[in-house]
Structure 1
Amino acid sequence: MAEYMAGNVGDYVDGDRKVVVCGDSEVGVFRIGDEFYAWHNRCAHRAGPVCQGRIMKRVLEPVASDKTTRTQEYDEAESHIICPWHGYEFSIKTGFHQGNNRVRLRKAELQIRNGEIYVSV
């Protein structure tokens, strides 16, 4: 596996991301809190550039006892990446699509050594 430098830990603030060119492919590196995650920049739906999409908190629709929803709220503990092509939404922490757990992003290996971030593809 080839290894590519994705910057220094200090280059990223909470909620940041960088898309790193890794030979013939790209990997998105995300920082959520103190944790880093790396995903191949290829949507599981139609191969769109998912890691370049909008980052936002997971949207929840609380269902009332009469089965209606009248509001939306955000799950502050869960950040998602939304593919810019068709709006497919994935957890940055797990890579899973929230509506179908068989659809997920492909994980890239990530290592931090001496404050430097490396991804392997």
Structure 2
Amino acid sequence: MINPKRFIEMTTKLHKANSSKRTGSSMKGYFVVYTTDRKRFVIPLEYLNNKIFKELFRMSEEEFGLPRNGPIIMPCDAVFMEYIVSFLQRKTSDDLEKALLISMNNDIQRSTAYLP
């Protein structure tokens, strides 16, 4: 039989370990965003200075407003967000980045034109 004092120590350690692994938090150096289809993405902070993410944040603020207590929602679906993250990981040329920005604006404006 386990000593009650030892049992309390073990459960306390387990509780502390589990509470530090909460799913709602993000790792240091990263931020969390959600897409319109409710998929969660953990993004490196270095992407905050990227023109594509700046534009996504601007569009998000325009469409959803500034989040007060809730999550940051990007105005795109998970497939597009995966494409953007992949695009940024490859560190492509400025010309391709500009073309993607133009495409983003056109596609998102077109998709919101059909909303009631």
TM-score, normalised on structure 2?
0.26
TM-score by length of 1: 0.26
Q: Which has the higher contact order (CA 8 A, sep 6+)?
A: 1
Name the one with the larger helix percent.
Answer: 2
Bigger radius of gyration: 2
